[in-house]
């Protein structure tokens, strides 16, 4: 693509990203610290056509990256660790264990599913909840889709990684344990989520290493599946 066309495309994407940020601000909850509802009111209505365009581009990129990842998985099939069915089962197992550990404020329940770095990060966050006398309740947790959007299969297995787009819904709210009052979120209304989860390969298997709680164009455009 010529330089001017690239600059023009990047400018449009930057504008769409800025519009999306202005349209609504997230209050944080959910495993890893995201979610909890959006605001934005009239601005969302005004920017709705642009948001539809943005959502369409994100959906198209997700499908494209998913196709690229599936093609790479076929090449990596010689290694049992890249078996698509086993990956799917592991990703789903990790997802539900991590959410359960978060809402129970006990990261040891999912320690076998997280890297040491992420375990310590989540433990710090949930220990703070214990100290503050709050709890982030996650109920009716539904993972409707887990789409692998990037794989990196290196000769050195310790460098292997994958990214998956996690989509679903859950009821997500905070309570103050002293009173039982809801401090944030809704006990009745499920909210949709779309997140990017990074998994790394360890001698014990695949573990979660990072949660990116927004799926944006810059993330998706940076994904490139490789097989050495």
Q: Would you state the pLDDT for residue 4?
A: 41
Q: What does the block give as tokens for 47?
A: 């920017």
Closest CA to 30 of 160, 174, 134, 127: 174
Q: Would you state the pLDDT for residue 70?
A: 81
CA angle 210, 213, 214 (to 5 degrees): 125
Residues 6+ apart with CB under 8 A from 151: 69, 72, 73, 76, 82, 160, 161, 162, 225, 226, 227
109 three-state secondary structure: helix
Contact 171, 189 (CB under 8 A): yes
Q: How far is CA 116 from the centre of its chain?
A: 18
Find the CATH number of the domain harbouring 161.
3.10.450.240
Domain that holds residue 118: 3-227
Q: How far is CA 188 from the centre of its chain?
A: 23
Q: Would you state the pLDDT for residue 29?
A: 65
For helices 41-75 and 84-103, the axis angle rounded to 10 degrees is 140
Q: Would you state the pLDDT for residue 83?
A: 94
Name the domain count of the chain. 1
Q: Give the C-alpha separation, 163 to 11, whole Å.
A: 26
Cα dist. 225→14, 55, 124 in Å?
24, 23, 33
CA angle 106, 111, 115 (to 5 degrees): 130
pTM: 0.80
List average pLDDT for each run of 10 residues in the chain, which is 228 residues long.
44 53 52 56 58 74 83 82 95 98 98 98 98 98 96 95 97 96 95 96 97 87 91
Q: Would you state the pLDDT for residue 25?
A: 46
Q: Is 35 left (phi over 0), alpha (psi -120 to 50) or beta?
A: left
What's the burial of 172, exposed, middle or buried (CB within 10 Å: 0-12/13-18/19+)?
buried
Q: Give the C-alpha separation, 91 to 191, whole Å.
A: 21
């Amino acid at each position: 693509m010529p330089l001017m066309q690239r600059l023009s495309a990047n400018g449009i994407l930057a504008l769409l990203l800025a519009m999306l940020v202005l349209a609504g601000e997230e209050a944080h909850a959910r495993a890893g610290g995201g979610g909890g509802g959006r605001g934005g009111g009239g601005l969302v209505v005004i920017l709705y056509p642009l948001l539809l365009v943005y959502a369409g581009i994100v959906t198209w990129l997700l499908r494209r990256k998913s196709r690229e990842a599936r093609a790479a998985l076929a090449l990596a099939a010689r290694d049992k660790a890249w078996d698509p069915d086993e990956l799917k089962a592991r990703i789903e197992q990790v997802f539900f264990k991590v959410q359960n550990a978060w809402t129970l404020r006990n990261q040891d329940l999912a320690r076998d599913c997280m890297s040491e770095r992420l375990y310590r990060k989540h433990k710090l966050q949930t220990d703070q909840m214990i100290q503050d006398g709050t709890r982030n309740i996650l109920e009716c947790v539904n993972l409707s889709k887990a789409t692998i959007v990037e794989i990196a299969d290196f000769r050195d297995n310790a460098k292997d990684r994958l990214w998956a787009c996690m989509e679903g819904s859950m009821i997500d709210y905070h309570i103050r344990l002293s009173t039982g009052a809801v401090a944030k979120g809704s006990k009745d209304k499920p909210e949709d989520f779309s997140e990017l989860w990074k998994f790394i390969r360890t001698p014990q298997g695949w573990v979660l290493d990072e949660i990116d709680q927004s799926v944006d164009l810059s993330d998706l455009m940076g994904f490139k599946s490789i097989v050495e």
